[in-house]
C-alpha cells in the first residue's frame, strides 16, 4: 500500500513538472485531485471542500456568461469607457469645407453665414438645408447668443431645426468633462411620443458628425431598457412628461445641471393637462437665469404667457407672420356638406384624386375608429392612429405610411401631431377642428419638403361655427364649394358589415375618453348613411367645452 501511494505521488509530481514546461504560465492546468486512500475510502470534509468551491465558482461564472450572452445590452463597459462620447459618423470634418456656391438672397440668411462648428455645419449641409425659414432666421441669432426665447410657430415652420442647431452649438463650443451618470445638458419636452421621436431623429441627423449622445424616452416602450440608457451622461434628452417623471422619481435622471430647457408645443401640453408635470420637471432644473429656456407654442394664450413669466428671464418674443401661416404649396378646398353625406363625399374624393398618401383627421377617438371601420367596409385599406393604439403598432403604422405600404391613415389631433412624413399628398378634415390652430397643424402635414399638397375640409352644419374665427386666423375669407351630385351617392359596401376589429393595431376600448381635442362619449349609434357616432354633434358640444 505504501509503495503504491509513493508511486502515485511521484507520478503526480512528474505530471506537474511536464505541465510547467509545456503549458503557458497564464493558463495552468487544474490541480490534480488528492490520491485515493483505497477502494471505497470516504473523503473527509477538508478534502472535498476545495472541489466544491471550484465547482461553485465554475457554475457561477457559467451563469454570468449565460446572462451576458442573453442580455448583451446590459454588459457594463470598462470603467474608463463608461462615459465616453459616442463616435461621430465616419469621415473627418477637418478636411471638409463648407459650400461656397450658395447664392445670396436678399432678406434671407444662409446657414453658412452663421459661425457654427464644422461638424454641425456639415450635418446641416448634408440635409440640404441652405436658407433659413422665417422662424429660423428670427430664432437662431438670439438663441446662439444664449437668450431666452418665446416663439409662436406652427408645425412645419422649421422651429425644431432652429432650437436643435442652437443647442448643439452650445454643447460643442462649451465641452464638459467629469459628468455624472444620468446627467443631462439639454432637455427637450414634447407632448406626444411621435413628436419626441421625430425631434430625436432630427437631432441624430443634424448631429451626425458631432459625436453627441442624444436619447429619447417616452411611454409605451421598454421602461428598463430606456432607464439603462440613462446610466451614462446625456447631451440632449428628448422626452414626454410622464416618462421623465418616472425616471426622476426613481433617481435615474439628474436634471440639476440642465443648461438648456426647451418646451415644444406648450399649447398642446396645456390642452392635454401636462402642465403640472411640466412644472414639476422645470422646478427640478436650475433657476431661470442659470439655464437657457426656449418655449414654442402655436398661440400666446394668457396661460402660456403666465408660464413664460415664471420660467424665463427677459425672453425674446418671436412670431411668424400670420400671412405666411399656411404654406403656399398647399391648395385648400372647403366642401359644404351635410353630416350624413360626409362619408360618401370622402369616398368620392378617394376615387377622383390621385392619392399618394392621405391623412384624415377626426376630432375624437371613437369617431376615428368608426370612420376607419366604414372605410374598410367600402374596401379602403386604411389604418387607425389614436391614443388607443399600442405604441409599437403606432410605430409600425407610421413606418408603413412613410414607406408607402399604407396610403390612408385616419387620425386624431393628438396622434397626428407627431406625424412627420414627407409626400403626404392629401390632408382631409373629416371634422373641422375645435380650435383654429389645429387647422394649421393638420394641413401642415402636407406641402412639405418643397412638394405640393392638397387640404380638403368637409364643413357640415355642426362645424360652421368655427369658420369666422378660422378666417380671422388665416387672414382671408373662405370660399365654399358644393360637391357634385355624384359625390353624394354612397356606393355599395364591399363587405356587408365592417370587418371585425382584431385589434391588431389597437388596445383597450375605442370609445369614451378624450381624443384629438374634444370630450368624447363612449359608444354611440350611427345615424344616416355616413355620419359618425353621435348623440348631439361633438362639434356642437365643443361650444361649451371648458
For residues 339 and 386, membership in a common domain is answered with yes
In this predicted structure, what is the pLDDT of residue 3?
Answer: 55
Dist CA 517 CA 485 (whole Å): 32
Give me the chain's average pLDDT, please: 77
Q: Which position has the higher pLDDT, 91 or 381? A: 381
In this predicted structure, what is the pLDDT of residue 402?
Answer: 87
In this predicted structure, what is the pLDDT of residue 236?
Answer: 98
For residues 253 and 377, membership in a common domain is answered with no
Q: How many CA atoms lie within 13 A of 387 on its CB side?
A: 19
Q: For 64-97, what is each residue's pLDDT tens digit?
A: 444 444 444 344 444 333 444 455 555 556 678 8
Buried b (16+ CB within 10 A) or exposed e, 438-449: bbbbbbbbbbbe
Domain for residue 546, yes or no?
Answer: no
For residues 367 and 303, membership in a common domain is answered with no
For residues 305 and 361, membership in a common domain is answered with no
The mean-pLDDT minimum among 22-26, 112-116, 195-199 falls in 22-26
For residues 372 and 280, membership in a common domain is answered with no
Dist CA 380 CA 393 (whole Å): 19
The mean-pLDDT minimum among 3-12, 68-77, 452-461 falls in 68-77
In this predicted structure, what is the pLDDT of residue 83?
Answer: 44
In this predicted structure, what is the pLDDT of residue 58?
Answer: 52
CB 461 within 8 A of CB 338: yes
For residues 309 and 369, membership in a common domain is answered with no
pTM, two decimals, is 0.61
CATH number of the domain to which 346 belongs? 3.40.50.300
Task: Say what the alpha-carbon torsion angle 164, 263, 518, 375 is, to the nearest 10 degrees.
Answer: 20
In this predicted structure, what is the pLDDT of residue 375?
Answer: 96
In this predicted structure, what is the pLDDT of residue 93?
Answer: 62
In this predicted structure, what is the pLDDT of residue 316?
Answer: 94
Domain for residue 532, yes or no?
Answer: no
* pLDDT above 80: residue 137: yes
Domain for residue 146, yes or no?
Answer: yes
Domain for residue 311, yes or no?
Answer: yes
* pLDDT above 60: residue 226: yes
Q: How many CA atoms lie within 13 A of 381 on its CB side?
A: 9
Domain for residue 10, yes or no?
Answer: no
Domain for residue 476, yes or no?
Answer: yes
Residues 6+ apart with CB under 8 A from 390: 220, 505, 506, 507
For residues 298 and 333, membership in a common domain is answered with no
* pLDDT above 90: residue 288: yes
| H or E, element range at 481 | strand 480-481
Q: For 474-502, what is each residue's pLDDT tens digit?
A: 888 999 999 999 999 999 888 766 555 44
The confidence band for 448, taking pLDDT boundaries of 50, 70 and 90, is: confident
* pLDDT above 70: residue 42: no
For residues 437 and 400, membership in a common domain is answered with yes
Q: Of 319, 338, 372, which one is at a domain's C-terminal end?
A: 319
Q: How many CA atoms lie within 13 A of 261 on its CB side?
A: 26
Residues 6+ apart with CB under 8 A from 491: 344, 347, 378
> Which contacts of 177-181 are long-range, i.e. CB under 8 A and separated by 24 or more positions?
179/83, 179/233, 179/257, 180/233, 180/254, 181/82, 181/83, 181/230, 181/231, 181/232, 181/233, 181/254
* pLDDT above 90: residue 342: yes
CB atoms within 10 A of CB 294: 27
In this predicted structure, what is the pLDDT of residue 248?
Answer: 92
Domain for residue 59, yes or no?
Answer: no
Taking the CA atoms of 531, 536, 542 and 546 in sequence, report the sign of the dihedral they define: negative
Domain count for the chain, please give it.
2
The confidence band for 335, taking pLDDT boundaries of 50, 70 and 90, is: very high
For residues 235 and 356, membership in a common domain is answered with no
The confidence band for 529, taking pLDDT boundaries of 50, 70 and 90, is: very low
Cα–Cα nearest to 359, from 311, 301, 430, 435: 430
The mean-pLDDT minimum among 133-142, 311-320, 454-463, 498-507 falls in 498-507
In this predicted structure, what is the pLDDT of residue 86?
Answer: 53
Q: Partners of 234 in the beta sheet?
A: 184
Domain for residue 520, yes or no?
Answer: no
Range of the domain at 369: 324-488
In this predicted structure, what is the pLDDT of residue 374?
Answer: 95
In this predicted structure, what is the pLDDT of residue 84?
Answer: 46
In this predicted structure, what is the pLDDT of residue 320?
Answer: 72
CA distances from 457 to 337, 360, 487 (A): 10, 10, 14
For residues 236 and 359, membership in a common domain is answered with no
For residues 291 and 350, membership in a common domain is answered with no
Q: Which position has the higher pLDDT, 54 or 451? A: 451
In this predicted structure, what is the pLDDT of residue 462?
Answer: 87
What is the percent of the chain with per-residue pLDDT over 90, rounded to a whole number?
Answer: 44
The confidence band for 129, taking pLDDT boundaries of 50, 70 and 90, is: very high
Angle at 444 between CA 534 and CA 360, to 5 degrees: 30
* pLDDT above 90: residue 111: yes
Q: Which position has the higher pLDDT, 299 or 166? A: 166
Q: What phi and psi, each to the nearest 5 degrees, are found at residue 425? A: -80, -30
Q: For 291-318, what is each residue's pLDDT tens digit?
A: 999 999 877 778 888 888 889 999 999 9
Amino acid at each position: 500500500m505504501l509503495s503504491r501511494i509513493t508511486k502515485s505521488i511521484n507520478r503526480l509530481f512528474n505530471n506537474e513538472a511536464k505541465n510547467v514546461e509545456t503549458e503557458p504560465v497564464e493558463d495552468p492546468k487544474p490541480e490534480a485531485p488528492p490520491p485515493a486512500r483505497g477502494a471505497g475510502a470516504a473523503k473527509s470534509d477538508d478534502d472535498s471542500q476545495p472541489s466544491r468551491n471550484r465547482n461553485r465558482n465554475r457554475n457561477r461564472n457559467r451563469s454570468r456568461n449565460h446572462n451576458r450572452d442573453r442580455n448583451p445590452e446590459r454588459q457594463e463597459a470598462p470603467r474608463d469607457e463608461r462615459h465616453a462620447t459616442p463616435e461621430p459618423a465616419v469621415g473627418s470634418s477637418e478636411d471638409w469645407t463648407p459650400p461656397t456656391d450658395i447664392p445670396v438672397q436678399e432678406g434671407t440668411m444662409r446657414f453658412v453665414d452663421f459661425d457654427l462648428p464644422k461638424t454641425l455645419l456639415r450635418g446641416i449641409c448634408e440635409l440640404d438645408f441652405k436658407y433659413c425659414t422665417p422662424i429660423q432666421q428670427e430664432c437662431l441669432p438670439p438663441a446662439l447668443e444664449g437668450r431666452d426665447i418665446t416663439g409662436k410657430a406652427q408645425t412645419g415652420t422649421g422651429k425644431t431645426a432652429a432650437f436643435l442647431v442652437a443647442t448643439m452649438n452650445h454643447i460643442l463650443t462649451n465641452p464638459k468633462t467629469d459628468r455624472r451618470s444620468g446627467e443631462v445638458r439639454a432637455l427637450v419636452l414634447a407632448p406626444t411620443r411621435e413628436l419626441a421621436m421625430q425631434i430625436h431623429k432630427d437631432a441624430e441627423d443634424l448631429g451626425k458628425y458631432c459625436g453627441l449622445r442624444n436619447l429619447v424616452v417616452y411611454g409605451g416602450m421598454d421602461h428598463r431598457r430606456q432607464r439603462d440608457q440613462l446610466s451614462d451622461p446625456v447631451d440632449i434628452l428628448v422626452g414626454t412628461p410622464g416618462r421623465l417623471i418616472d425616471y426622476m422619481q426613481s433617481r435615474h435622471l439628474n436634471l440639476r445641471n440642465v443648461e438648456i430647457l426647451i418646451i415644444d408645443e406648450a399649447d398642446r401640453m396645456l390642452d392635454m393637462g401636462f402642465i403640472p408635470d411640466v412644472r414639476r420637471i422645470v422646478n427640478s432644473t436650475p433657476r431661470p437665469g442659470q439655464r437657457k429656456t426656449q418655449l414654442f407654442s402655436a398661440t400666446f394664450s394668457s396661460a402660456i404667457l403666465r408660464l413664460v413669466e415664471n420660467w424665463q428671464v427677459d425672453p425674446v418674443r418671436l412670431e411668424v407672420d400670420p400671412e405666411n401661416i399656411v404654406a403656399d404649396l398647399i391648395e385648400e378646398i372647403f366642401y359644404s356638406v351635410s353630416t350624413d353625406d360626409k362619408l360618401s363625399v370622402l369616398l368620392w374624393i378617394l376615387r377622383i384624386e390621385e392619392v399618394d398618401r392621405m391623412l384624415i383627421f377626426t376630432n375624437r377617438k371613437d369617431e376615428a375608429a368608426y370612420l376607419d371601420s366604414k372605410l374598410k367596409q367600402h374596401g379602403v385599406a386604411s389604418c387607425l392612429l389614436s391614443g388607443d393604439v399600442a405604441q409599437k403598432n403606432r410605430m409600425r403604422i407610421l413606418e408603413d405610411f412613410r414607406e408607402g405600404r399604407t396610403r390612408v391613415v385616419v387620425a386624431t389631433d393628438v396622434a397626428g401631431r407627431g406625424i412627420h412624413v414627407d409626400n403626404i399628398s392629401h390632408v382631409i378634415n373629416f371634422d373641422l377642428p375645435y380650435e383654429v390652430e389645429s387647422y394649421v397643424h393638420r394641413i401642415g402635414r402636407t406641402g412639405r419638403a418643397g412638394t405640393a399638397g392638397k387640404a380638403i375640409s368637409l364643413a357640415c352644419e355642426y362645424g360652421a361655427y368655427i369658420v369666422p374665427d378660422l378666417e380671422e386666423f388665416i387672414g382671408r375669407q373662405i370660399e365654399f364649394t358644393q360637391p357634385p351630385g355624384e359625390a353624394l351617392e354612397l356606393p355599395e359596401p364591399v363587405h356587408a358589415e365592417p370587418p371585425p376589429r382584431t385589434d391588431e393595431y389597437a388596445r383597450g376600448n375605442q370609445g369614451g375618453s378624450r381624443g384629438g381635442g374634444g370630450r368624447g362619449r363612449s359608444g354611440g349609434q350611427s345615424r344616416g348613411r355616413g355620419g359618425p357616432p353621435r348623440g348631439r354633434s361633438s362639434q356642437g358640444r365643443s361650444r361649451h367645452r371648458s
